[in-house]
A and B are shown apart, each in its own frame.
Chain A
Amino acid sequence: MKTYIENFKKYRFLLWELVKKGVKLKYRRSYLGILWTLLEPLFTMIVLSVVFGTLFNNKDPHFPVYILCGRLMYSFFSSATNGAMKAIRTNAGMIKKVYVPKYIYPLSSVLFNYIIFAISLIVLVAVATVLKVYPTIYLLQAIVPLILLLFTAFGVGMILSTMAVFFRDLEYLWSVGLMMIMYASAIFYKPEKLLKSGFGWILKCNPLYLLIHNFRQAVYGRPMNMHFLAASVVFAIVSVIVGLIFFYKKQDQFILYI
C-alpha cells in the first residue's frame, strides 16, 4: 500500500499536467473558449425548459433550476465516463513507450471533466439567483452528492476503460447505456408519477438519479433523502473498489491489445 502511495506522489505532477491538458485543449481554437462551459448548459436548459415546461404545461416557476441540476450532473457523468473509457486507447502512444502507472490516464480524464463541471455550476448559481431560489443552510449538503458523483464516475470509468481495451464495441454500447441512464434520471420531467407506478424501481436503481435527487434537495433547501443517500454511497464505494481491482488485474495485458 505504501509503495502505491509513493508511486502516486511521484506521478502527481503528471496527473496535474494531464488534467491541465484536458481543460486547455477542450476549448482551444474556439473564440469563446471556456465560456462555452457556461453557454452550452444555459442553451440546453432554455430549450428543455421551453419544450418540457411549455409543451407539457409545467407550472413550476423554478423548472429551469430543476432541469439544470440534473442536466449538469448527467453531462459530467457522461463525458467523464466516456473520456475514461477511451483514455487507454488515446494514450496508447505513451503507454507503449514509457512506464507510467496506467490508472493516471482514466483518472485525469475524470478529474478534468470534474473541473469543467465545477465551472459550469456558475450557471446554476446565476439561474437560481434570477429565479429567486435562494441558498439555505441545506445547500451545504450539496457537497455530499457532488463528491459521490466524482467517485461514482471514477469507478464506472475505470471499469469501462478496462473493458474498452478488449472490446471496442463497448463505445457504442455505452452510448446506448448513457441514453438509458439519461431517461431514467428524471432530468427534464418530474418523477412522482413514475415513482408511484410499477416502474419506480428503475429510477431507484439508477445511482445517477439518486444523486441528482439529493443535489436538488440541497439546492431547493430541503433535507436529503437518507435512503437514496445510503444507496448512492454504497454504489460509489462498490464501483470504485470493483473498478480499481478490475483495472489492476487486467492492466498488464493492455499493451497486447492497443
Chain B
Amino acid sequence: MANKEVLRVEHVGMKFNLSQEKVDDLKDYVIKLIKRQLSYNEFWALKDINFSLNKGDRLGILGLNGAGKSTLLKVIAGVLKATEGTVTSKGKIAPLLELGAGFDQQYTGRENIYLYGAVLGFSRKFLDEKLDEIIEFSELGKFIDVPVKNYSSGMKSRLGFSVATLVEPDILILDEVLSVGDAKFRKKSEAKIMSMFDKGVTVLFVSHSLEQVQRLCNKAILLEKGRIISRGSIEEVSEIYEQKTK
C-alpha cells in the first residue's frame, strides 16, 4: 500500500499571530514598539494534524466554522506554509478554491484562460490545444471576448471551473465549489468531477452540506479548534458530526 500513498500530512500546525489591533503602518509600529505594546495573541488554527491518503481516497473534512478546514486545505495546496510539520504529496495538485478569484477584471475571457492557466502551471501549447474545449465547456460562446468585469458571477465560476479541471490532477482540492452556476451547469460539473473520481483521483473536500460530503466521500475527518477529534469512514464521522451540531 505504501507506494500508493499520494499525500502525507505529518504533525502539521499553523500558528497565527493575532495582534489586538492591526498594525500596518510604520508610525503605529514605531509608537507601539517604543511603548512596548506589540503583544500578539498566539493562536493555533491547526495543531498536530496527521493523516495520509492513498490513491483514490476521497476525504471529507468536516467541522464547524472556524475549525480550521480552509486553513488545512490552504496548507496542503501550498498557499500557506505550515508553522510546523510537513506535507508531502506526489503528483499534481489542483486546487479548486473560490473559482475565478484570480481573474484579471480588465482582461477578456480568452486572455484570462491563458493567464489563469499559466498560474495553474499549464504550458502555452497545452492551452492552445485545449482552448476550444474550455470555451465550449464553459458555455460562454461569444462572451469569451468580453472583459471579465462584465461577467456575472456564474459566468466567472464557469470559466474558472473549465480551466481548473482541464488536466486530470492526482489530488483535487474542493472547497464548496460544487455549487457553481445554474442547475444545468452544476450537473455538468458534478459529472466532470465524478469522471475524475472514476479515474482514481484523490480528493479533499470541504463543504457544510453533510449530504454532499456523504455522497462524494468515503473517508472523513472531523476538526474542532484545529485538532482532529474523529476520523474514519464517512458514516462514523458524520454520525459524530451530527451529534455535535445538534
Contacts and interface: CB of A to CB of B under 8 A. Distances in A.
Given A93-B101, A97-B102, A166-B24, A21 B119 contact: no
Given A94-B102, A167-B29, A168-B25, A11 B80 contact: no
Interface residues of B, number: 31
A123 B115 CA distance: 32
B106 A169 contact: no
B168 interface: no
Interface-centre pick from A13, A96, A100, A252 (highest chain B CB count, 10 A): A13
A25 B106 contact: yes
A83 B214 CA distance: 47
B26 interface: yes
A193 interface: no
Contacts of A17: 114-115, 118
Nearest to B16: A256
Contacts of A252: 81
A257 interface: yes
Contacts of A173: 26
B118 A97 contact: no
Contacts of B98: 97
B79 A21 contact: no
A133 interface: no
B153 to A, nearest CB: 14
A98 interface: yes
A98 B118 contact: no
Nearest to B98: A97
Interface residues of A, number: 29
B78 interface: yes
Contact of B102 (A93, A167, A170, A257): A93
A100 B77 CA distance: 10
B123 interface: yes
B95 interface: yes
A245 interface: no
A95 interface: yes
A252 to B, nearest CB: 4
A168 B106 CA distance: 25
A98 B25 CA distance: 27
A244 interface: no
A10 interface: yes
Interface string A168-181: 11100100000000
A104 B224 CA distance: 36
Contact of B80 (A14, A166, A167, A255): A255
A46 B95 CA distance: 53
B27 A14 contact: no
B102 A11 contact: no
Contact of A94 (B17, B119, B122): B119
B84 to A, nearest CB: 13
Contacts of B107: 21, 25
Contacts of A28: 106
B85 to A, nearest CB: 14
B80 to A, nearest CB: 6
A21 B80 CA distance: 26
Nearest to A96: B79
Given A14-B118, A99-B78, A100-B119, 9 more contacts: A18-B118, A25-B107, A98-B97, A99-B79, A166-B24, A170-B26, A255-B79, A256-B17, A257-B24
18 contacts: A13-B123, A14-B118, A14-B119, A17-B114, A25-B106, A96-B74, A96-B101, A97-B95, A97-B98, A98-B79, A99-B79, A99-B95, A100-B119, A168-B25, A169-B25, A173-B26, A255-B79, A256-B17
